[in-house]
Amino acid sequence: MINTFQSSIDEIKEGSHLKLVSRSFSNEIIVNESLDCSTLGDITFVNVNFKNVNFLGSYLIVCHFKKCIFDNLMLIKCEFWNSTFEECQVENSNFTRAEFSGGNFKTCNFINVKLTASYFSNFEFIEMKFKNSNLDLIIARSVKISNLKQSIEIEKSYNFEESLKDMNLIISTDQNNIDHF
């Protein structure tokens, strides 16, 4: 089985930044890659496993992630424009100071994820779960949070973590509860 995303990375000369537009990737494994300052536009990832990948300072524009697994990703200072994440598992990853404009997280699980000082605008959180994640200093503007029982809209919030707690989207940081996630 040829890993087409890996082939795209390998085609880029050392020192260049990855730029991909209008592509789809499925059932692939991306491991131990540094893709700093990359630009991905109109890309779809389905059942892709990302492990130990660094996207520091990258731009992801209209990217769709479905049933993907993210483990130990560095997404610090990344910008996500109209990107969606559906049924994804995100563990041990760092989204510090990431910006999300448009798009959503739907039925995703975040475990040991740093979202410190991230910014969300015109974004939706649908049926999310956060465990042992750092949600400090998140700024939210025009954000919708929903679960099976209720839905709230936030026009402007500097205490986003409280809104997630109110919706029961944050699970205890107690290790026993984390082990049974």
Cβ atoms of residues 63 and 46 within 8 Å: no
State the residue range of the domain holding 66: 17-179
In a domain, 79, yes or no: yes
Between 27 and 148, the more confident residue is 27
In a 3-state reduction of DSSP, which class is residue 100?
A: strand
Structure tokens at 107: 């039925």
- List residues bridging with 107 in a β-sheet: none
- Helical spans, DSSP H, in the chain: 4-11, 160-166, 175-179
Residue-wise pLDDT tens digits, 116-141: 999 999 999 999 999 999 999 999 99
- Give how many domains the chain has, as a whole number: 1
Query: Is 141 part of any domain?
Result: yes
Residue 120: inside a domain: yes
For residue 99, is it within any domain?
A: yes
Q: pLDDT digit string (tens) for 142-179?
A: 999 998 888 988 888 767 888 888 778 877 554 444 44
